[in-house]
Chains A and B, each alone.
Chain A
Amino acid sequence: MARYSITINGKKQNVNVAEDMPLLWVLRDELGLTGTKFGCGRGLCGTCTIHLDGEPTRACMTSVEYVDGSEITTIEGLSTDLSHPLQQAWIAEEVPQCGYCQSGQIMTAAALLEKNSDPSDEDINTAMKMNLCRCGTYQRIRKAIHRAAKEI
């Protein structure tokens, strides 16, 4: 066990947890930020995607030790009022079905739009391909990203 200090959604948080605990469980179990989901625990599905110093990162594969002192953004911090263009686009296109994968999808898409404000279908495929959606919302995800890109 050790103490760590992480900035999450702009707020400094101190936690006392095992060194190897992945950020995913720090967020979910220790801090109650349950918007970030567990899907595979092996970096294979993308449901746990968060931003680590702006980069889309798998929270299940990132130990707390590694993120000490870093800045983390989770779905809860993307906006506090659903105002992020992607969230608006997600609502307009009715993207979510069960919704379980959607925090991860939105966080990955947000990182994409940060770098590329007008992504092609190809760009979207490349960026989003590691985010699985069992409900099959892919076509709407693509449309929503294009829609959000127009708003930015």
Chain B
Amino acid sequence: MPESSVSRRDFLKVSSTAGVGLMIGVFLPAKERLVAAGLAPSQPFEPNAFLAIHPDNSVVITVAKSEMGQHVRTSLPMILGDELEADWSQITVLQADANEQKYGNQGTGGSGSIRESFTILRKTGAAAKEVLIKAGAKKWGVTIEECIATKGKIIHLPTKRQFTFGELAEMASSYSLSTNPKLKDPEDFNFIGKSMPGKDTPSRANGKAQFGIDIRIPDMLYATVIHCPTFGGKAKSFNSNSAKGIPGVTDIFAIEEGVAIVGNNTWSVIQGQRALDIEWDHGDFANWDSNRIKSFMEKKGGSGKAVIARKEGDVTTAHKKAASVFEVQYEVPFTHHATMEPMNCVAHVGNGKCEIWVPTQVPQRVQTKAAEHLGIPLEQVKVHVTLLGGGFGRRLFADYVTDALEISQKIGKPVKMLWTREEDMAHDFFRPTSIHKLSAALTKKNQAKSWSHRIIAPSISAQRSPQKFTKGELDKSAVSGARNLPYEIPNLHIDYIMTNTKVPVGWWRAVYNSQNGFANEGFVDELAHLADEDPYHFRVKLLKNSPRHLGVLNVAAEKSGWGTKLGKGRGRGIAVHESFGSWAAHVAEVTVKSDGSFTVDRIVGAIDCGLPVHPDGIRMQMESGIVYGLTSTLKGEITIKKGAVEQSNFHDFELLRIDESPEMEIHIVASDEPPSGAGEPGLPPVAPSVANAIFDATGKRIRKLPIRPEDLRA
């Protein structure tokens, strides 16, 4: 099978079903390449794209996923290195350049890195180990059964003779690789399930870690840009006289999306940007603001045609027969990714070629975009992926890359293009705002006989690909977390109304699970209260057939001391949610004062993400999801005025601080199921667990984010 036809889908399908015939496709291409290359002695042995074992005994594992704080550059090598029986200290990590043929899809998101790579990395390590053993056995003239691999060595057991991997690498490369190597018994894992030291931790503690913003290449100039603050607007004209007078500013020109300022250093171009006098054509979105967006959504949500996402039983009849119908509305605002490293990109365009250094979650999207933008073949675009100073979904977009390309092309030199924080704040792809209309038919004893959930929100998918939604198709993403409601209630109706405006929307951590999880878990808490039942036990009752929900729910409840008494003004709230193939539950504890000010004191979280590959990494991601989720629960609202974002920097878009960060206790629910992710699943239950805790403390039901002290005043 030629390399080019091994798509990532085949790659993964093959690896998970272990179809031998196709497995060859996974390993063969690299092998063929090696054979064709004749393999000089100094050449490394490369069983496939993920691994190289060098004669100097270094094991280089190429990571094709982007590192943005989720420690994939530790966890993925752990998986491969474990099967290989490498020594942790001999493993170094190489970041893959964009290359679809070699690595499959490098897109990093959806909490998918481990889920997508687990089997293929194991097989790669195992197959490589087999040929190393074979090489050792051959050299000693013994059988492979007498040899084992351990800690980077092949050992002949009867005689205790040993070779390092490096000593055998060349010989091993002459064997063909098994397409279906024997994998280790999980009992024998050395790295998987242990918390190995982070490969990038030292460089992140001494300033040596290289983010996109840190790239420096010879002859490089610096640039910043300014885009029209109003969505859909553009620059009409600009006066650059005063900006040009700023020392160090070398060039100012219009680009497709705004105006670029180029110079000898960052400070010059920032100064230049501030001094620019631009006349904008704000376009028709200039008379939109947050209120108008809300009434547009309310109106469309009330009268518009909804697309059904899930229907079970008969909600209409249930409503008719009900003793009463309970109806409420939940609301979630736009919010921002706010990665600590602002958007930036280094690009060098010229001679029909292009080289890019960029913090991105989508190296291949960058590559394709650059090739299209410049009208050059894909092979002429080299994309190096740096470390990312945060991603959270923001860097799934490659908008900022185009700025750098245009500038470099125009000046004929390499350029480091950096957005100011203000620019970054103004031009995100925001977490969609949403309205949730929920209702339940209640019996005389207030038992819920139905559950209706209407989601009214802009669609990320439709904003990007409107052609896919011309005939009332369902945007499945927009209803994720709502459509798969786990609670066993006899009549269900879940539908969606799309309300797109010009505000760009995008995949923010946990995507629509953040809004839908808040609505679900708030509403179920309300139903428990109406039924006069404990919110934890009420959930348990409705989750009888959802063992993994129950697993995390029970652990969070037990570890948090659910049911024990709390002091005055204090409350406890619980929430559980499944997303991206993982289950998470939190119990939050809050203290509310009579003036409405409150603190989130403690969050006990439980997660079931299948086999825990890197437990400390999972705990980190849970802690991170909690803090990120709390920011959007307590602050972090993006509002629109005159068609533009009102917030401009961290004084008016506030992030959670250390003194507001609760005590966190994370429990990993043991599982033998295939591993899934931990980057996002910890986020959705945060807001509802806190809102439910506030209800417990005060009797005030929170249905709108962010939660403000003024909403809680006694």
Q: What residues on B are CB-neighbors of A136 within 8 Å?
A: 623-628, 656, 661
Q: Decide if B207 touches A134 in the complex (CB within 8 Å).
A: no
Q: Decide if A18 touches B268 in the complex (CB within 8 Å).
A: yes
Task: Tell me if A150 is interfacial: C-beta within 8 Å of chain B.
Answer: no
Question: How would you classify the secondary structure of chain A's contact residues: helix, strand, loop or mixed?
Answer: loop
Of B203, B248, B390, B663, the residue contacting A100 (CB under 8 A) is B390
Give a binary string over A44-77; 1 marks a CB under 8 Å from any B CB, 0 the rest: 1101000000000000000000000000001110
Q: Decide if B247 touches A97 in the complex (CB within 8 Å).
A: no
Chain B: CB-nearest residue to A32: B216
**Interface size in chain A (residues, C-beta < 8 A):** 62
Give a binary string over A68-88; 1 marks a CB under 8 Å from any B CB, 0 the rest: 000000111011001000010
Q: Decide if B207 touches A45 in the complex (CB within 8 Å).
A: no
Task: Tell me if B421 is interfacial: C-beta within 8 Å of chain A.
Answer: yes
Of A38, A126, A130, the residue contacting B213 (CB under 8 A) is A38
- Closest approach, in angstroms, between the C-beta of A128 and any C-beta of chain B? 5
Of A25, A95, A97, A134, the residue contacting B266 (CB under 8 A) is A25
Give a binary string over A88-108; 1 marks a CB under 8 Å from any B CB, 0 the rest: 001100111111111100100
CA distance A32 to B195 in the complex (A): 34
Of B202, B338, B620, B649, the residue contacting A42 (CB under 8 A) is B649
Task: Tell me if A5 is interfacial: C-beta within 8 Å of chain B.
Answer: no
| A25-B266, A134-B340 given; A98·B390 CB < 8 A | yes
CA distance A134 to B394 in the complex (A): 13
Task: Tell me if B568 is interfacial: C-beta within 8 Å of chain A.
Answer: no
Q: Decide if B340 touches A101 in the complex (CB within 8 Å).
A: yes
| A25-B265, A98-B389 given; A131·B207 CB < 8 A | no
Q: Decide if A45 touches B658 in the complex (CB within 8 Å).
A: no
Q: Decide if B339 touches A134 in the complex (CB within 8 Å).
A: yes
CA distance A21 to B209 in the complex (A): 25
Q: Decide if B205 touches A82 in the complex (CB within 8 Å).
A: yes
CA distance A97 to B616 in the complex (A): 11
CA distance A18 to B264 in the complex (A): 11
Task: Tell me if A35 is interfacial: C-beta within 8 Å of chain B.
Answer: yes
Q: Decide if B663 touches A139 in the complex (CB within 8 Å).
A: yes
CA distance A79 to B418 in the complex (A): 29
- Closest approach, in angstroms, between the C-beta of B365 and any C-beta of chain A? 20
Enumerate B198-228 residues with CB–CB distance to A below 8 Å.
198, 200-211, 213-214, 216, 222
| A44-B649, A90-B205, A91-B205 given; A99·B658 CB < 8 A | no
Max count, chain B CB within 10 A of own CB: residue among A29, A38, A134, A137 = A134
CA distance A100 to B394 in the complex (A): 15
Enumerate A17-52 residues with CB–CB distance to B below 8 Å.
17-18, 20-22, 25, 28-30, 32-42, 44-45, 47
Q: What residues on A are CB-neighbors of B616 within 8 Å?
A: 94
- Closest approach, in angstroms, between the C-beta of B32 and any C-beta of chain A? 38
Q: What residues on A are CB-neighbors of B266 within 8 Å?
A: 25, 28-29, 38
Enumerate A100-152 residues with CB–CB distance to B below 8 Å.
100-103, 106, 124-126, 128-142
Task: Tell me if B69 is interfacial: C-beta within 8 Å of chain A.
Answer: yes
Q: Decide if B205 touches A29 in the complex (CB within 8 Å).
A: no
Chain A: CB-nearest residue to B420: A41
Of B198, B222, B341, B624, the residue contacting A94 (CB under 8 A) is B198
Q: Decide if A96 touches B267 in the complex (CB within 8 Å).
A: no
Task: Tell me if B68 is interfacial: C-beta within 8 Å of chain A.
Answer: yes
Show 26 A/B contacts (Cβ-Cβ < 8 Å), sorted by A. A18-B247, A29-B266, A33-B207, A35-B206, A37-B341, A39-B650, A40-B421, A40-B650, A41-B421, A75-B206, A87-B206, A97-B69, A97-B71, A98-B68, A98-B387, A98-B391, A99-B69, A99-B200, A99-B389, A100-B390, A102-B204, A125-B659, A133-B655, A137-B620, A137-B623, A140-B620
**Chain A residues packing against B (C-beta within 8 Å):** 1, 17-18, 20-22, 25, 28-30, 32-42, 44-45, 47, 74-76, 78-79, 82, 87, 90-91, 94-103, 106, 124-126, 128-142
The 9 closest A-B pairs by CB, nearest first: A35-B207, A136-B627, A99-B204, A100-B389, A98-B69, A97-B69, A75-B207, A96-B204, A138-B661
